[in-house]
Amino acid sequence: MTHLKTLTLGAVLLGGSAMTASAQDLHFIMCGGEVRPADQVVIDQFIVDHPGVTVNMEAVPWGTCQDKSMTLAAAGDPPSIAYMGSRTLRQLANNDLIVPVSFTPEQEAAFQPGVLATVSSGGQYWGIPHAFSTKALYINCDLVEAAGATCEAPATWADLVTLAKTVTENTDAAGIGMAGKDFDNTMHMFLDFLYSNGGVVLDAATNAPMIDSQQTRETLQLYADLLPYMQEGPTAWERDQLRDLFNDSKIAMYVTGPWGRGQHNETINQLVAPIPAGPSGVSGTILITDSIAVFKGTGHEELATELAVALTSGAAQYDLDSSWGLTPILQYENLGIADPFYLNDPFWQVFTGGISTGGPEPLVEDFKALQAVFTNMVQGILLGEGEVDELVTIAGEELAAVQ
């Protein structure tokens, strides 16, 4: 089994009150409120292989976890290591709270395309990706067929609008569910469509804002075109709530990740399809990762990094991806895994097919301000508070201020 080699760390700053703690006592904050069995196996083996080392796991719910890690670090009492959303990495890096990491060309090539862009800022990597998701369009074929249409994947946005319209006009269900609440997945869903239209949020080389574009205007216009066929009051709904509407056959379509298959009622005859292509692009998806970050100022950065590498290396990472039902973060077929779970499975091919044309969750220092840029734009069109051109122009100005 081929696995990722030991990371090469950049310079590490030592200091802070955490230096008084034992160099063999690692404090590991795990966002999500639980430690996955695949991770626990690695942690247990790490302790066996390092006599005298303890790993104090603290599983914290997502709502407070990331703020806790950052607050501790800023106060000079950082955790040794944390599993958290990659969106936090730029803020941590800009405040000199985490160590940078580097990968060899071989290691970079092992990741799925675009994954490392989710942990990159200022020409440097700041975390080791550990969980990966892409998105797809789920369709309730029973509702589609009840509306008199053929249940097949819409190839284009025009096809999507037509299908949503047909369901709305011929059943008691809404044609499509869309997230519009003041919540992060409102931005994520917009980016699913933006990246399927060739759009860009930040320039990869300069980090300059690129959202004020034709591609963004076309994406926002799609929301306007779909509005008559959405669930009632879309600004009150986030993605997980749309799942409930889908299960109750109140919407015929919505976008979510691979976990949707296990969350939907078994009685629903569902089709999972790539996100349709916009007029200026090809089918894509947002690429979202959670990462392991190693914090500065603990006195045991190298030991923490060794644990991070163990958790994210080939066999261990494969166990996490396959048992959790995540989009594969590594190209396991090139790493010695025979017949990986996703390779010949039509369901997984939908979620891996858009990786090469997808785009990253943008890395900015103030993620909540970034989220507000997209929420304001989306809610503006859904509530009739502006025209497409005006709202996108304002979004471009707001994004420039976030930068």
Q: Give the rounded distance of the alpha carbon of 380 from its chain centre.
A: 24
- The verdict on 211 and 333 lying in the same domain is no
- The verdict on 80 and 162 lying in the same domain is no
pLDDT band, very low/low/confident/very high, at 244 (cuts 50, 70, 90): very high
CA angle 331, 337, 340 (to 5 degrees): 70
Average pLDDT over residues 77-103: 95
What is the per-residue pLDDT for 5?
A: 44
What is the per-residue pLDDT for 23?
A: 58
Q: Which amino acid is at 261?
A: R
The mean predicted confidence, pLDDT, of the chain is: 93
- The verdict on 14 and 46 lying in the same domain is yes
pTM of this prediction exceeds 0.85: yes
CATH number at residue 341: 3.40.190.10
- The verdict on 127 and 141 lying in the same domain is no
In a domain, 309, yes or no: yes
Query: 352-402 pLDDT, tens per residue?
Result: 999 999 999 999 989 999 999 999 999 999 999 999 999 999 999 999 998
* % of the chain with per-residue pLDDT over 70: 94
What is the per-residue pLDDT for 204?
A: 85
Average pLDDT over residues 48-55: 95
- The verdict on 79 and 151 lying in the same domain is no
Domain encompassing residue 343: 8-132+289-349
CA angle 367, 288, 37 (to 5 degrees): 115
Query: 167-218 pLDDT, tens per residue?
Result: 999 999 999 999 999 999 999 999 999 999 999 999 988 889 999 999 999 9
- The verdict on 94 and 215 lying in the same domain is no
Average pLDDT over residues 253-267: 96
